[in-house]
Structures are given as C-alpha cells and as structure tokens.
Structure 1
C-alpha cells in the first residue's frame, strides 16, 4: 500500500520503521532489525515518527560520512536526524546507515556473528537519533552499556 506520493503507507498501529537492504550480498532479517529499533525506542521512552534503516556496504557509508559529515574514512554506522523538533515531542525521525562490510570484518574480533555486530550498529545509530552522543570516553562507555541492554532486550 502506498500513500498519494507513492511512498509506503504506514498502517495504524504499525511501526514507522523501514528496513532497506542495500548491500549487494549481505542481509539482515528485517524483523531482527525492527526488534532492535523497538527495544531502543521503548527503553528510551520514545516512538518512531519515521525511521529508515539502510543496510549498505563500505562505499555507501563512506560516501555519506565524507559528503555529509566531512569525515573521509570508513565507519560502521552514520545517523541523520531528519526532524530536530520531533524529539522534544517524544518522537524520532531519522535515518541510520549501517556498513555490513565493517560488521563482517569486525565480528570475529569480538567473537560474535556478523548479524550481532551489525545489529549493534543499528542500536548505536538509533541511540544517536534519540539524542545520545559518543564524543568522550564516558559517553562511549554509556552508549556501549545501552547497546548491550537493548540487544539483550531484543533477544540478540
């Protein structure tokens, strides 16, 4: 079902979370992604106005990181808040771009599957949309604790 502009319609009661499989060969189960997003939002006491989770590769995420954030290097996840005014109203509107190549490369380092590592990036990106930052060691540790808690809550 689509709305008048041809965009996917969100049915009443249906979460406003869209998962886009943009990697040429790696995928995550849409339901696993939605479960993690839901756990983060519930834990943060927020609702999804509209959240896009785009599962891409090195090239996509690197290009976005360079073009929009001014960082010319690969990274695991980038997030973009699309409506700054939504958060004070308890809603989140944004996009999270996850680099599945990085998840595949880094997962053995942490003794987890590619899926688990990529879902951590999903949680991390959504936490950024919820207003969390990771600029300091203390903030990074706090976000890591939240990621762990929300992955557990989602059954990951």
Structure 2
C-alpha cells in the first residue's frame, strides 16, 4: 500500500496528477526489484519541513530534495517513509531543464530504493542504484536522469 500525504498545496497546484505520479513511481520501483510488497508513506511537503526532518534525523540543517526513513522489520510490512520538499525539487527540475513530474518520479524511485537497502556511498553502489533508477524510469516513460551528467564527462 502506498499512502500519500500532501502537506504543501504547491505540489497539487504544480501537478494535477501528483498522487498518480508518486504512486506509479513507487510501485514501479518495488516491481523492478521484485520486492514482494509492503507499505510506504510518502510525504509531499515544503522545504522547511524537510529541513527540520533532515536536521533532526541526519544532523544536517538544510532542506534537501528527498529523505528516506527505512522502517525496522515489523509485522505490518511497513517499509518506511519518504519525504520530498517542493521548493528544492522544483528548483532542481528547473535548473536541470526537466519537467517537475519526471524529477518527482525519479526522486520517489530513488527514495524507495533507499527504503529497501540500496545506497550510493561508493561508486559501485551508485552505479547499481542509478542503473535500477534508469530501468524504473524508462518503464514510466521518463528519460534517463543521468544522461546530461554522462555527457558532461565525455
């Protein structure tokens, strides 16, 4: 089950189908890694709320695009929570020349992968995680979010 909570109206104002976009991305990520199920709560909020969560739980006093909070094993099958801040996400999408919908789906897929144990602390981990993100997003019709970065290195 995907539970979506919209705290910041800016998400709905910018994307009429924001709940469908988020749910589709989360389900696509879970399907790609063949994760048998589990509940996820996604919070679409503002930068200040994300900043507070980041400071409280990660000791980093700034807003970020997405935060993932994996849940400990539990009988309810809750995988964890993901929080996304509108301002940072919208700014990044604009700076990168991407539709906000595509960037949002990328960040949701990224967050879901974190919930189930994927990370990007090393180059090998990042390569594996980014590869999964590319496959998930391609299935949603979203272009490779890393294509511009790869082009910069050629």
Instruction: Please indicate, yes or no, whether the TM-score normalized by the shorter chain is above 0.5.
Output: yes
Aligned residues: 137
Structure 1 residues 74 and 50: CA distance shift in structure 2, 3 A:
same
CA positional deviation for 1:97 = 0.4
Q: Contact 2:21–2:101 at 8 Å: present in 1 too?
A: no
Q: Contact 1:48–1:92 at 8 Å: present in 2 too?
A: no
Number of the residue aligned with 1:24: 9
Report the TM-score, using the length of structure 1 for normalisation: 0.79
Gaps of 5+ in 2: 143-154
| Residues 65-97 of structure 1, C-alpha deviations (whole Å, 9 max, x = no match) | 1101212222111111123367xxxx6521100
Q: Contact 1:100–1:118 at 8 Å: present in 2 too?
A: no
Q: Contact 1:76–1:98 at 8 Å: present in 2 too?
A: yes
| Residues 91-149 of structure 1, C-alpha deviations (whole Å, 9 max, x = no match) | 65211001221111011232211121121111111000111011123322332222221
Structure 1 residue corresponding to 2:68, chosen from 70, 76, 79: 79
Gaps of 5+ in 1: 1-15
Report the TM-score, using the length of structure 2 for normalisation: 0.80
CA RMSD between the two structures: 1.8
Of 115-124 and 18-27, more deviation after overlay is shown by 18-27
Q: Contact 1:44–1:130 at 8 Å: present in 2 too?
A: no
Q: Contact 1:46–1:92 at 8 Å: present in 2 too?
A: no
Which aligned runs of 4 or more in structure 1 are off by greater than 3 angstroms?
Answer: none
Number of the residue aligned with 1:119: 105
Q: Hey, which of these two has a bigger chunk of helix by percent?
A: 2
Number of the residue aligned with 1:38: 27
Number of the residue aligned with 2:124: 138
Q: How does 1:82-121 map to 2 (within 5 A)?
A: 82-84=71-73, 93-121=79-107
